[in-house]
């Protein structure tokens, strides 16, 4: 099973009651099926103003763990990134969402290098397995 090779899992959620229920189920599933994996909980589309359906404190209490990263809702930056044809993390490097995405990427890189052979060394990682596959396409006749 593929989950046995996982080092890290990113569980992206919103801070709502329905998302809390689903998050609890996913955390439980990963705990029993991939106990070696580090689960990173990311709260997405967190509005800075207005009354949320559920507070962050209540959400964390219901899933019985802390949220690792919070990605704030920044519709202007998302629209600007789409216009430029760039990822949000690149278009908004200095914005809060860009900084959070870079921190998340750093955490994933650190998690992927823990106890895992690098793909360049021909290790047994999923990336090295996929990289060794070659698809042969028939050549066009002239």
**Quick one: what percent of the chain has pLDDT higher than 70?**
79
Kindly state the average pLDDT of the residues 29-58.
89
Kindly state the average pLDDT of the residues 64-68.
96
3-state secondary structure of 142: coil
What pLDDT score does 117 carry?
45
What pLDDT score does 118 carry?
42
Positive or negative, the CA dihedral 119, 35, 22, 77 is negative
Q: What is the mean pLDDT of the chain?
A: 83
2-114 homologous superfamily: P-loop containing nucleotide triphosphate hydrolases (3.40.50.300)
Rounded Cα–Cα distance for residues 129 and 122 (Å): 8
Q: What is the pLDDT of residues 94-137, one digit of tens each?
A: 999 999 999 999 998 888 776 444 444 444 555 555 555 455 55
């Amino acid at each position: 099973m593929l989950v046995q090779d996982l080092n890290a899992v990113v569980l992206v959620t919103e801070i709502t009651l329905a998302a809390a229920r689903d998050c609890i189920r996913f955390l439980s599933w990963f705990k029993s099926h991939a106990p070696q994996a580090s689960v990173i909980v990311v709260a997405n589309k967190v509005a800075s103003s207005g009354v949320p359906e559920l507070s962050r404190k209540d959400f964390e209490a219901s899933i019985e763990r802390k949220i690792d990263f919070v990605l704030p809702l920044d519709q202007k930056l998302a629209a600007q990134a789409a216009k430029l044809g760039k990822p949000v993390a690149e278009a908004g490097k200095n914005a809060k969402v860009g900084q959070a995405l870079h921190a998340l990427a750093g955490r994933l890189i650190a998690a992927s290098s823990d106890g895992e052979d690098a793909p360049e060394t021909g290790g047994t990682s999923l990336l090295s397995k996929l990289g060794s596959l070659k698809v042969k396409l028939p050549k066009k006749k002239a």
